[in-house]
A and B are shown apart, each in its own frame.
Chain A
């Protein structure tokens, strides 16, 4: 792996160039990842917590048309969508977030490839930033990641002093992106950046994901689900802010008497009508079954299907949950014999 040094000033010049070329530059804010209009808005703070909402809407928009239709007397004309495929550079992605597109890629490419997702994902350029602060909800280290993980980043930044970053070139894509700017790069010292990353405080591993996997396999009917099911309010805050939840709904929307479009919209397994049949039968009729689906999907089913945990450990679902249901607490306590997932 190649490592360089770049000054903050020069990094900003690159950012400005990205914007000037008409590409989208994204960076995390407090509520959401936002599109940078002016480089003076860029914060690049290693001690910021993950934003309330993840960047996933830029690869998997919360709503998007998948086809247009035009009805005439007997016939219907279908019009393909031109997928808007602007280059997106995401600057300062948290290490947990950086890996999310990689995790979702499995789902969107097994059997059938989803061109909407792929086109956007291929146009993503991820510049990760080391993370130096965690709170009670972070648990990246329990899901095969860490505050210094380069997984999913094309380029990775480590602050070496106030004015300079170590820039690691992780992928071919990253190399290609940075090559026009090689004038800004100075040779780096891997030993130095290693010393920094080794000294980053990391959240203590809260659980062993393979134990959780086992437990879930044996405890589909555990009374613990009832306890958390009673508290959960069945919104979709947790699924919608999550950087790897990927469920969607398909619905038609007319915008005139003869024309309309078919939309693909975010959906979440915590909603009561997510699995409701037309006949009134509902396989997941109560909240405890829905919450069980959430945890099982993340820590068991996805592992079965694709070998990855469907969770990056960012903790935003727990931080934002209206009733503070903490997914980390729940999976960490699965093995103790408390009736509910109480501490």
Chain B
């Protein structure tokens, strides 16, 4: 049974991506709803169904949660038709999370591509709220073009901060005349800036192709398989380990994931 939530705010991030700021209709749920960075939820547009998105706001942020979604099909189109003040349904939080406790006293490298920035943003903001507990922090975020970049306001804030290194890149051809960031695909940019791999944890989210080409680069730079964390996004329906479509081998991505290390992924059958 989903909880109902009110859309408090709508932010148009890019032509096809929107962020909702949501508040549960029921005050008690608002207090009780706790989650960890990396978890996801099922959001419903009543009449058109449910869709899976990660929770994009930081768990340290109380009183509201945010989700960002790219418009693709039935549910996401229907969600886009909703206005401020309308009601959506939320079930969750589901799945596992990034083990931040294990990241303490380490360098962190965040790599995000496309809508993959949504889960990364959640961990990233969570980490920034606890900045002192971690060492160097680098974020590489790539999008198809400048207009496809989301969280533009926040990126500006990241960029001015001295205690983090922010690298934003767009695919070749996606730059504008005044673009001052990098141009190039994420794996190439990663290779270029070649971050320190010693004592570093990688948080990597993005479309399957990007992940496929980024992993060998990371290995080449000396990152350890156990220190590379990523999320798998299989098609999901129930989020409860029942409906049977999210599995990879004997693993239910909705329960045992979505967060996996590269070492864990290597053990799974190649079917994602």
**Which residues from chain A sit less than 8 Å from chain B, CB to CB?**
67, 69, 71, 74-76, 78, 80, 107-108, 110-112, 114, 220, 246-252, 254, 260, 262, 267, 269, 274-279, 281, 283-284, 289, 293, 296-297, 300-301, 304-305
Contacts and interface: CB of A to CB of B under 8 A. Distances in A.
Interface in B1-52: 1-2, 4, 6, 25, 44, 46-50
Given A275-B235, A276-B235, A278-B76, A74 B242 contact: no
A111 B252 CA distance: 12
Contact of A74 (B50, B87, B249): B87
B245 A275 contact: yes
Contact of B4 (A75, A114, A289, A305): A75
Contacts of B85: 74
Interface of B: 1-2, 4, 6, 25, 44, 46-50, 72-73, 76, 85-89, 207-208, 233-235, 237-238, 240-245, 247-250, 255, 269-272
Nearest to B46: A69
B241 A247 contact: no
A174 to B, nearest CB: 28
Given A277-B233, A278-B73, A289-B271, A248 B49 contact: no
A80 B1 CA distance: 8
B244 A248 contact: yes
Question: Which of the listed residues A76, A80, A274, A296 has the most CB atoms from chain B within 10 Å of its own CB?
Answer: A76
B23 to A, nearest CB: 13
B87 A301 contact: no
22 contacts: A74-B85, A76-B46, A76-B87, A76-B88, A107-B241, A108-B242, A111-B240, A246-B242, A246-B244, A247-B243, A247-B245, A249-B237, A254-B47, A260-B47, A267-B245, A274-B245, A281-B208, A283-B234, A296-B249, A297-B247, A301-B249, A304-B250
CB-based closest 10 A-B pairs = A278-B72, A247-B244, A301-B250, A304-B250, A112-B240, A76-B87, A69-B46, A252-B49, A220-B269, A283-B272
B64 to A, nearest CB: 17
B72 A305 contact: no
A36 B44 CA distance: 40
Given A76-B4, A112-B242, A283 B271 contact: yes
Question: Which of the listed residues B208, B238, B244 has the most CB atoms from chain A within 10 Å of its own CB?
Answer: B244
Given A277-B234, A278-B73, 10 more contacts: A67-B1, A69-B46, A71-B47, A74-B86, A107-B242, A250-B49, A250-B238, A274-B245, A278-B72, A281-B207
A220 B233 CA distance: 21
Contacts of B234: 275, 277, 283
Contacts of B235: 274-277
B113 to A, nearest CB: 12
A75 B87 contact: yes
Contacts of B233: 277
A252 B238 contact: no
Interface of B (DSSP majority class): loop
Nearest to B50: A250
A248 B243 CA distance: 5
A220 B89 CA distance: 39
Nearest to A248: B243
Contacts of A269: 244-245
A231 B36 CA distance: 46
Nearest to B241: A111
Contact of A279 (B6, B87, B207, B250): B207
B72 A252 contact: no
Nearest to A257: B47
B245 A114 contact: no
Contact of A260 (B25, B46, B72, B76): B46
Contacts of A277: 233-235
B193 to A, nearest CB: 28
A305 to B, nearest CB: 6
Nearest to B78: A252
A274 B235 CA distance: 8
A136 B238 CA distance: 37
B237 A110 contact: no
A249 B49 CA distance: 11
A215 to B, nearest CB: 14
A108 B248 CA distance: 19
Contacts of A249: 237, 243
Question: Which of the listed residues B4, B25, B250 has the most CB atoms from chain A within 10 Å of its own CB?
Answer: B250
Contact of B271 (A107, A108, A284): A284
A89 B49 CA distance: 35
